Amino acid sequence: MPTSEPVSNALLPPGGRVLVVRLSALGDVLFALETVAALKAARPDVAVDFLVADSFAALLAGHPQLDRVVVWPRKRLGRLPAAVRELRRVRYDLALDLHGILKSSVPLALARARLKVGFAPPGSREGSHWFHHRSIPLPTPLPHRADRGLLLLAALGIPVADTQPRLDAVEPPPGPLDALPTPRVLLHPGTSAFAAFKRWPADRHAELARRLLARGIGVAVSHGPGERELVEPVLRAAPGAHDLDGTRLGLRGLAGAMRRFDVVVAADTGPLHLACAMGASAVALFGPKDTAKYGPRSHGTARNVVLHADVPCRPCTRRDCATPQCVLGISVDEAEQAVLQLLEARS
């Protein structure tokens, strides 16, 4: 049975090798990169590999703190044997399970690691802690997703510092983005289709864009795969806004473009956390999720404002809602004032 005793840093030898397991989703992979940054700050001598689902592998390409990205197939199961061989090619001194569910337990069990460490329940679910050699208990209530990995390092005796996540972002090619006036604000109206009920209405994004443009602020509207129809009404209603096509740029290209904006306005979605990782300030239009566990992170001099309506049912864990008043209750006035507040702070 797994134990929860702290693990000494001495068990990670000089020049050792660590496997970090976080398969998905976009925001959580970015949160896990804070753990990578802290680990490399404390132990620059160790090599760090990252096991991630194929949907997010491109985000980690060329990462300056990763020795290897091991891709775990979620949809193309025919690639599973090759992924298993790649995973087992290296013997690790330490494997860190930052995902903590059954689907992360399978590759964790296959990995050749002398010590496999993860969270004790309820930080882990679906019996995944049975695949750990050591399970570390987390405080109650459970902390932010990013802080959980940092607490895991601390429990292992690894000092935690310098948690700024890093990416090998790709600068967008020269174009209309360069001509946008400053300061610059990026609006991202979309979410995944699975989380559509978290979206702030498109007509409010359009009104916010019009107001910011009238103030002489550069405005762009970004979108990812399947979101073109969602943002077209915003672009039509605010013809001075730049169309930032994240599908064409890819995740690392979108990250590079986000680095050029002072403030990003987005719902509870992966691109919000991507913008924060790149040093932008954010207006987070949050809905049902608990911001103490899933809210945006501030890095460097960036600051964030989290908006939501105070309704008695929030936060909740529902996967759908016909009338999500927690997000529908956010007014354009509130969002505009939050943007202006952050722009003033950055200036």
Read off the pLDDT of residues 230-260 as tens digits, 9 standing for 90 and up. Answer: 999 999 999 999 999 999 999 999 999 999 9
Q: Given this model, what pLDDT does residue 10 score?
A: 67
Which of 3.40.50.10800, 3.30.70.20, 3.40.30.10, 3.40.50.2000 would CATH assign to domain 9-155? 3.40.50.2000
The stretches in the chain having pLDDT less than 50 are 1-7
Q: Given this model, what pLDDT does residue 35 score?
A: 97
Residue labelled with tokens 């096509």? 245
User: Nearest-5° angle of CA 262, CA 260, CA 295?
Assistant: 50
The tokens describing 316, both together, are: 């909740």
Q: Given this model, what pLDDT does residue 2 score?
A: 45
Two domains, one topology: 9-155 and 176-346: yes
Q: Given this model, what pLDDT does residue 43 score?
A: 94
Q: Given this model, what pLDDT does residue 7 score?
A: 44
What are φ and ψ of residue 265, in 5° steps? -110, 120
The CATH classification number of 176-346 equals: 3.40.50.2000
Residue labelled with tokens 């992966």? 270
The residue type of 213 is L
- What pTM does this model have? 0.94
Q: Count CA within 13 A, CB hemisphere, residue 315.
A: 11
Q: Given this model, what pLDDT does residue 23 score?
A: 98
Domain regions of the chain by residue span: 9-155, 176-346
How far is Cα 201 from Cα 314, in angstroms, rounded to an integer? 19
What are φ and ψ of residue 292, in 5° steps? -65, -20
